[in-house]
């Protein structure tokens, strides 16, 4: 009985990352998905043009409902992204310090 080679073993010719064609394909898929999301967002904004009164602290005014919701979504993304980015930078610095302090 012969044993088949395992698919988890890596040979000398294996590369660390995906083949270049797959990376380009992923960029195209990401670009197409981004375009679809932008079109859907544009449709949402155009369908929600009724003005809404907005009061925030001492600022007040009117905005179309779609734009107001877009601003709220952007603010929510920023509330998540800014602390998340700070934490990622903190972890990278800690990893860099740990790798420098380890003897080679």
Number of structural domains, the chain? 1
Calpha distance 12→78 (Å, rounded): 44
Residue 72 lies in a domain: yes
> Does residue 13 sit within a domain?
no
Asked if the structure places residue 34 within a domain, the reply is yes
Residue span of the structural domain in which 51 resides: 20-101
DSSP string, 30-80: HHHHHHHHHHHHHHHHHH--SEEEEEETTEEEEEEHHHHHHHHHHHHHHHH
9 within some domain: no
Please answer whether residues 63 and 72 qualify as being in contact, where contact means their C-beta atoms are separated by less than 8 angstroms.
no
The answer to whether residue 65 is domain-embedded is yes
Residue 52 lies in a domain: yes
Q: What is the pLDDT along the chain (104 residues), one digit of tens a residue?
A: 555 555 555 555 555 665 666 877 888 898 999 899 989 999 998 999 999 999 989 999 999 999 998 889 999 999 999 999 999 999 999 999 988 887 66
In a domain, 58, yes or no: yes
69: number of Cβ within 10 Å? 15
How far apart are the C-alpha atoms of 83 and 78, rounded to whole Å? Answer: 9
State pTM to two decimals: 0.57
């Amino acid at each position: 009985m012969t044993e088949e080679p395992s698919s988890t073993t890596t040979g000398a010719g294996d590369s660390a990352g995906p083949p270049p064609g797959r990376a380009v394909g992923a960029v195209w898929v990401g670009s197409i998905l981004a375009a679809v999301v932008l079109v859907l967002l544009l449709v949402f904004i155009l369908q929600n043009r009724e003005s809404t009164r907005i009061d925030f602290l001492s600022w007040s005014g009117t905005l179309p409902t779609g734009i107001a919701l877009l601003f709220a979504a952007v603010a929510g993304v920023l509330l998540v992204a800014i602390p998340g980015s700070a934490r990622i930078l903190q972890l990278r610095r800690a990893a860099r310090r740990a790798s420098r302090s380890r003897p080679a």
